[in-house]
Amino acid sequence: MKSGHSSDSFYRNLPFFSEFSEIDNLNGFYSAPDDWLIIIADIKNSTKFINGGQYKQVNMVGASCITAVINTLGDIDIPFVFGGDGATILVPEHARTKVVTALAGVRLLALKEFKIQLRIGFVPVRQVLEAGRNVLVAKFEISTGNTLAMFSGGGTELADKLIKADVHCHKFAVSDNHISEPPDLTGLSCRWQPLKSAKGQMICLLIQALDARTHRRHRILSEVLSCISEILDNNISSSNPVTEPALRFDWPPDGLKMEAVLTKGRQSFFRRYLFLLYQSFIQLILERFDLSAGGYNAVEYRKELRSNADYRRFDDALRLVLDCSEAQTEMIADMLEKRHEIKEIAYGIHVTDQAQMTCLVLSLEHKAHIHFIDGSDGGFWAAAVAYKNQLNNLKIQP
């Protein structure tokens, strides 16, 4: 573990892992600057929206938080982890006012359009350090120029607890009366059909090591990841939910109205929707005939889409979305249960038949795009419910 620098270039200058399995290498994790802030954004009462079949809206709002912060900060590279029904983001302290305004805009938009209540809170890294936790950050390069953050040290976990406990005094939470403006959600899209499993089942896994020592937690989760890889024929990428047969582009896309609502800014919904109808129709033609135009190469984009899929995450816990056969799912579940029985891990698993994808396209020209993957019918949220139940049975606070 190494110290980072208190500068806007902290995350940009970090070296990166080229393999996800390198989470065991603690030398690749760097302490976040103590003058940065941890942002936790999550949706209140997610259960209602899951039961109402609105999990895609939940995913889009979670991804909107990341998009708004990226667009607001421009040239400052920031680490983030998508959580399905929210996000964890780190930003410099001097950017707080801009970021609060952007996220307050997302919150107002989510409430107005989807009746979704978004909780937003900021905790200084300095305060987490004083409480005995650390905020360790690593970069995982999923493709050339596209990286995802990994968090460790327990700091983001503590920030999440502090924000959710901050109901009345608003020491950390952003109050509802904060002035907001329409957020810039340029790049956020929702056009591909749900990804049907090629092997039979899509599983969402949330796995946490129970040891309090950071190095032991990494070792345990590395061993678990190795076991999962072995079950998947020693190749986790073979269970990437994004496959060529699974990528279906229909017109008009089911999520186009949602995209228009979120990205319209100060435009009217009707004007934005007409533009997206036209744009997506061109995309349909390019996809159907494997053509290229305006920086969009259909064949190459589909390859990049698979490479840039965020189906593996690490934020003190492993979060995986995997396309598995029924036999593979059973073997993974059995392995996890055995480790849970000896109180080595707590885990949640959600099994469904398809995954959903939310896209963040920053630049087609520079091949800068990331695709957030979650299971359908509750996805990571449902896995988290099972995980928290295990912690409660063990009398451990989540």
pLDDT category at 261 given cuts 50, 70, 90 is: very high
pLDDT tens per residue, range 188-221: 998 999 999 999 999 999 999 998 889 999 999 9
pLDDT category at 7 given cuts 50, 70, 90 is: confident
Check pLDDT > 80 for residue 179.
Answer: no
Sequence ranges of the domains in the chain: 2-184
pLDDT tens per residue, range 301-323: 999 999 999 999 999 999 999 99
Confidence (pLDDT) at 299: 95
Q: What is the percent of the chain with per-residue pLDDT over 70, rounded to a whole number?
A: 96
pLDDT category at 168 given cuts 50, 70, 90 is: low
**Rounded average pLDDT over 59-79:** 95
Tokens of 386: 């099972």
Half-sphere exposure of 283 (CA within 13 A, CB side): 21
Q: What's the rounded Cα separation, in Å, for the pair 337 and 323? A: 20
Confidence (pLDDT) at 4: 45
pLDDT category at 392 given cuts 50, 70, 90 is: confident
DSSP 3-state of 73: helix
> What number does CATH give the domain 2-184?
3.30.70
90 and 79 in contact (C-beta within 8 Å)?
yes
**Rounded average pLDDT over 322-338:** 98
Check pLDDT > 70 for residue 169.
Answer: no
Q: What angle do CA 227, 325, 196 make, to 5 degrees?
A: 120
pLDDT tens per residue, range 79-131: 999 998 899 999 999 999 999 999 999 999 999 999 999 999 999 999 999 99
Confidence (pLDDT) at 365: 81
Q: What's the rounded Cα separation, in Å, for the pair 202 and 239? A: 9
Confidence (pLDDT) at 5: 46
Q: Which of 173-182, 288-297, 300-309, 350-359 has the lowest mean pLDDT?
A: 173-182
When comparing pLDDT for 349 and 294, which is higher?
A: 349
**Order of strands, edge to edge, in the sheet holding 345-352?**
312-314, 318-324, 201-209, 345-352
Select from 239, 149, 148 the least CA-distant residue to 200: 239
Confidence (pLDDT) at 398: 63
DSSP 3-state of 78: coil
Q: What is the percent of the chain with per-residue pLDDT over 90, rounded to a whole number?
A: 80
Check pLDDT > 80 for residue 395.
Answer: no
Cα distances from 264 to residues 104, 151, 206, 281, in angstroms, run 16, 32, 34, 18
Which range among 25-34, 48-57, 359-368 has the greatest average pLDDT? 25-34
pLDDT tens per residue, range 130-153: 999 999 999 999 998 899 999 999
Q: What's the rounded Cα separation, in Å, for the pair 235 and 198? A: 16
Mean confidence (pLDDT) of the chain: 92
Q: Which of 31-35, 81-85, 162-166, 360-364 has the lowest mean pLDDT?
A: 162-166
Tokens of 338: 């055995």
Confidence (pLDDT) at 225: 96
